[in-house]
A and B are shown apart, each in its own frame.
Chain A
Amino acid sequence: MRNQKPETRNQKILLSGNEAIAKGAIDAGCRFYAGYPITPQNEIIAYMAQHMPEAGGVFIQSESELAAINMVFGALASGARAMTSSSSPGISLMQEGISYIAAAELPAVIINIMRAGPGLGNIWPAQSDYFQAVKSGGHGDYHCLVFAPASVQEAYDLTVLSFELADKYRIPVIILGDGMLGQMMEPVTAEAAEKPQRPQKKIWAATGCKGRKPNVVKSFYLNMGELEQFNLKLQEKYQDIRHREQRYETFNTDDAEIILVAYGMMARLAKKAVESLREKGHKVGLLRPISLWPYPADILKEIISRQPSVRFLVVEMSYGQMLEDVQLTVNGRVKVDFLGRSGGGVPSEEEIINRVRRIAG
């Protein structure tokens, strides 16, 4: 482990995506981490092992990802800011726990540094856990906020934001990175380290009923109609979040005839392709979703109404998962094409450029 120089005001420090996420969590006031080793996110658990105790928090390497997510459940039930991280197979083990966390309305932050699958797959980057994160891989009608950083700085910033929004809405937040983002290093300005985070006290937490009626953190509603009422309340929360928390970035979309839609590291490659194509006179742009749930449907609809002849090219490190959300939003009004590779394959800039040329005809 490199030992870090002491941080000074607004100084840029060189961090890997994994380390930036771990540091962002601690800077955001996360004081509980439980995790289990799995490549390509091992730097997160290693960082937490070293720095969480220094920050006065609790670090536990658990016996499995199953135990890790449930330890996070316990930490959240205590009112602490808490996080776990893993990679695809480990996140699959956590799905039951995430459903319980959503149902108990606990503010979890869960990091998935995706690797190629299915099964043991390998440790190459991929985006093939999109459905699991966005459509919710556990049982029941619930959602997690899902963010996709496309740089190490953004990974840091979105981790800090995740803790704020998790508390604000009492909802689990998932950060979808991938092996590339986790391992690559970029300079980071750690603003949250300068602003001491004082997460507000959770009056609903299980801390001992001194001076109040007992609190119960649970998700079991057996009486007739009780669970349905609770679900309606959850759906209201999700509708509210859909309105307020759509995040995206656009690049050269105003006059674009073909707009690439890509997130995370894939968006970086797509942006390079857009720049090259623009130099050759092609009217091409990029829409980069930053929140994958809620999906940025509003901007998509806006673009379509402004440029009815626009076409979309969805580019993913999967065989078409975010593609379906674009198709759902576009609803057939304009053409949607797809370019995707998975299993560790990464669509190259050249492949994107060739596909755009073919579409442009």
Chain B
Amino acid sequence: MKKIFSRTESLCEADTHYCSGCGHGLVHRLVAEAIDELGIREATIGITPVGCAVVAYNYWNFDCVESPHGRCLAIATAIKRLQPQQIVFTYQGDGDLAAIGTAETVHAANRGENLTVIFINNAVYGMTGGQMAPTTLIGQKTATSPEGRNAKNDGLPLKISEMLAGLAGVYSIERVSTDSPKEIFKTKQAIKSAFKNQMENKGFSLVEILSACPTYLGLSPLESMDWIRNTMSKEFPLGKIK
């Protein structure tokens, strides 16, 4: 029998530190698979965020730069401008991209930087212990919305992808999910085409990936998948946004 599914070259052998059922580990693999299928490992530079995925470079087998919280797209802009022939992507959480890094995100998108953005939306801050994120749902309990997020005090879940879609500089934005094999295949394709867009100089391509944080949703991995499918994707509808 032939091995038909195994780790690809851009993913390291090392165990990850992620919690059981966490979406990061899964998406790391999808990114690695996409890069290897496109044959661009040796030309790729990844920018890692501050958040649970800060040490993603321990799990990827290509050059990486670790960014201060929120500044991935400023760093990526400079690297891509100086090395246009290389493939530059950022991997960011909802706090990194849509809270502290909002200005960098909006302006990199508005400049139409030819970059690939992998945006993990898991509706909480994981690394710091489950606080409210810009994408936390109304009523969702977190360490900083103990009674559940309420619109008056905390505003509504931030639709950064829809917001960015309005910018002329943006080439493509797609929202996908990891709540089932079917959705994971779509996520893989979305990631791959976002990289392909960059290879073909199409411009700013962002993939928003609804992902599970079982630990701070207070759910099992399986229940987290259901929560994404039945609750979260109602607030953050899947599909091509631009």
Contact = CB atoms under 8 A, between A and B. Distances in A.
Given A32-B82, A206-B79, A218-B65, A70 B45 contact: no
Contact of B104 (A32, A70, A80): A70
A232 interface: no
Interface in A69-104: 70-75, 77-78, 80, 82, 96-97, 100, 104
Contacts of B42: 208-211
Interface string A48-79: 00000000001010111011101111110110
A202 to B, nearest CB: 12
B162 interface: no
A50 to B, nearest CB: 18
B158 interface: no
Interface string A212-232: 001111111010000000000
A44 interface: no
Interface size class of A (residues with CB under 8 A): 35 or more
A170 B66 CA distance: 17
Given A67-B103, A71-B74, A206-B63, A100 B68 contact: yes
Contact of A70 (B43, B57, B62, B74): B74
A20 interface: no
A110 interface: no
Interface residues of B, number: 34
B82 A97 contact: no
A145 interface: no
A208 B35 CA distance: 13
A278 to B, nearest CB: 51
B78 A72 contact: yes
Contacts of B74: 62, 66-68, 70-71, 73-74
Contacts of B43: 208, 210
B65 A216 contact: yes
Given A74-B74, A75-B82, A206 B103 contact: no
Contacts of B24: none
Interface in B71-130: 71, 74-79, 81-83, 86, 103-104, 106-107
A192 interface: no
A34 interface: yes
Among B43, B44, B78, B104: residue with most chain A CB under 10 A: B78
A80 B40 CA distance: 22
Contact of B75 (A66, A71, A96): A71
Interface of A: 31-32, 34, 58, 60, 62-64, 66-68, 70-75, 77-78, 80, 82, 96-97, 100, 104, 206-211, 214-220, 222
23 contacts: A60-B81, A63-B107, A64-B103, A67-B103, A70-B71, A70-B74, A71-B77, A71-B78, A75-B82, A77-B65, A77-B75, A78-B83, A96-B68, A100-B68, A206-B64, A207-B45, A207-B83, A209-B41, A209-B42, A209-B62, A214-B57, A217-B64, A220-B55
